[in-house]
Each structure stands twice: as C-alpha cells, then as structure tokens.
Amino acid sequence: MQSQMIATPKLFIGLDVHKKSWQAHLRTDISDHKGFSLPPDPEILANYVFKHFPDHQVQLSYEAGCCGFSAAREFLNLGWSVTVVNPADIPHMDKQLYQKTDKIDCRNLAKQLQLGQLKPIYIPTEDQEQLRSLLRQRNQLVKQHRKVKSNIKGLLLFHGIVIPPEFDNPNWSKNFQQWLFQIPWSHITGFQCLHSKLRIYKLLDQEILLTSNELRAYCRKVHTTDYYLLKSIPGIGGILSAAILAELGDIRRFNNERQFANCIGLVPGIHQSSETNNYMGVTPRCKALLRSYLIESAWIAIRLDPGIQAFYRKHVGKNPKSVIVKVAHKMCRRILSVIKSGKPYQLGFSA
C-alpha cells in the first residue's frame, strides 16, 4: 500500500531587497534549498517558484526599508503569505554582529520565518501609501519654510538690521512681510540676497497652502466618514485628521487602545531589572510625525474640552512635558472610540 502525503509542503523565502538587486534564500519545511541573487523584479522570483515548487504553500519575508511595500503587494496578489518586518525585530546571533552579508541576512530571515519568530508590520494599501507620501511632503515643506524664516532673521541680525518689536514674533503678518521688502540697503547685493530668500519664502508659503488643501480635500472625498468622526474630537482639525488616516490606515484593525497607543508611540520606555525600574520617557519606537501632531493637538484640547482640562488639572505641579503626553494618550482613547463606534464625539463623554 502506498503512503500519501497529507501535509501541504511549505516553502519559506527570505528576501533582502535593494534598489539594483535582490538576494533570496529558499528553504522548504524539510531542508534548505538554495540562495541566489536576482534582478529587483517580483515576476522573476515568482516564475522560479512556480517552476520548481508548484505545489508548495509559499511564505515570504523581507525587511521594511526604502523600497516600500510595492513588492509585498505583488506577492500578496499571487496568493503568497507575506511578512514585512522591522529590521530591529529580527532575532540575530552574536556572530552576525561581526559577519553580516545579504546572503546571511536572507538565510536568517527564511529560518526565522519557518520558526514563526517574525512579527509582521502592517502592509498599507497603495492608496494609503501615496496619501502618506503627500502628508510627509507637506511636512518637508513646513520644515523648509521654517528654515528659510530663520535664515532671513539671521541675515538681518548679521547686518545689524533691527526688527521692530511689534513684528519680532514667530507669526509673520502681511505688514511684516511688506516691511521686509522695503528695507533700505546700502548696496544692491544685500537687497538681492534678501529678496532671493523672500521669493523662496513666498513660494514655500503658497506650496504649503496648496498641499494642505489637497490633503484635506482628498480625505473629505475618499475617507469622508472617518475624517469627520476624527474632526468631531476637540483639538483635532483637518490636517491632523488626514495625518491619522495617512499614517495608520484602517484604525479599526486595532483590538484595543493599548495597541493603538503603542503603534503611535505614546507609551513609556522602561527597563526593569530586579527591583530597579528605569523609566526612559516615551518609547523611541513611534510614528514620529503623528506623535508630534497629537502632542501639539493635546494643548488645544486642554482649552476646548472640559474633560481634558479637568484631567490636566489633576496633574498640576508635575512635569508639564510628562503630563501633556498623558493627555495625548487620553486622546488616543477618544480617537479609537469614535472610529469603532461610528458616532461623533460629544463633550462630556467619558472615555
């Protein structure tokens, strides 16, 4: 009597992704197969797998990096199980600190994938990934805008030009900008230098306004329900609502507030050894842009929401930086609550 294989054979692929070439290592549930390099094209790897392992259940993993998630989505369309991992979360042996190559890395990925030791990160949709790119482009423009403003003030300081007290603040009014254009210079080169900076300032100002409008308009049109649910929370405006949708995607995938706050990075970093606890502030693992936006919005929420204000007053006398993180953490609960319930936030609601 012939014996039949009941278990489905499995193939584990560790992939090291780069711009010009990929390194792959293939491993079955029985033994290692082989490692090889290939052009950065998912179709080439797929054709090899379909030719040599037509009846195998395929699992693939690679490190998140500059190449994004486009390859992961193509492999998912083939019916493969895809795990994209944070490079810092991959288990390593000590010797791999001193012997590190692409071949060793992808072999280790395949091995850890088979052992079930890899924790996947969320793979965004193409729509969300491009929305996130637009949000981060706006953030880059804001940084450049701030830098140009500092350069202009630095130029005036260097040449001994005193800014009138009514204009010497972070908010640049139209009157201040008009004053900048009318500054008399003893030489034409100083005039040309300042006006070059002012033209860049005006260009960035217009580009930030245009990008912000496009960001909000897209979210109002495509993510209408979630956008307005988020805006119902005091302290959260159009840009922050768009930032939450862009950075996190489907918020309903979070099972609880702890997971949600941990993803954003509004949880403490702690190192415990025996009876010693060392608290290191908020964790460095975070959605940095979104966390900073939420902490800024927490200051606004304190002024607008009586519940948040009462919570803040309970901590008066403590370090304001620590307290505002607690307020931002409390806002996370409100965000997750309104999205999961589908009901706009109401003042006086306890969350």
- Domain extents for the chain? 10-115, 126-222, 251-341
Instruction: Output phi, psi for 33, to 5 deg.
Output: -100, -75
Instruction: Output phi, psi for 149, to 5 deg.
Output: -60, -40
pTM (2 decimals)?
A: 0.89
CATH number of 10-115: 3.30.420.40
- pLDDT tens digits in sequence order for the chain, 351 residues long: 444 555 789 999 999 999 999 999 999 999 999 999 999 999 999 999 999 999 999 999 999 999 999 999 999 999 999 999 999 999 988 887 788 899 999 999 999 999 999 999 999 999 999 999 999 999 999 999 999 999 999 999 999 999 999 998 888 999 999 999 999 999 999 999 999 999 999 999 999 999 999 999 999 999 999 999 999 999 999 999 999 999 999 999 999 999 999 999 998 877 776 677 777 778 888 999 999 999 999 999 999 999 999 999 998 888 888 899 999 999 999 999 999 999 999 886 554
Within a 13 Å sphere around the CA of 274, how many CA atoms are in the beta-carbon half?
A: 0
At a CB cut-off of 8 Å and minimum separation 6, what does 265 contact? 282, 283, 284, 285, 286, 287, 288, 291
3-state percent breakdown (helix, strand, coil) of the chain, nearest 5: 55, 15, 30
Q: Of 17, 10, 133, whose CA–CA distance to 84 is shortest?
A: 17
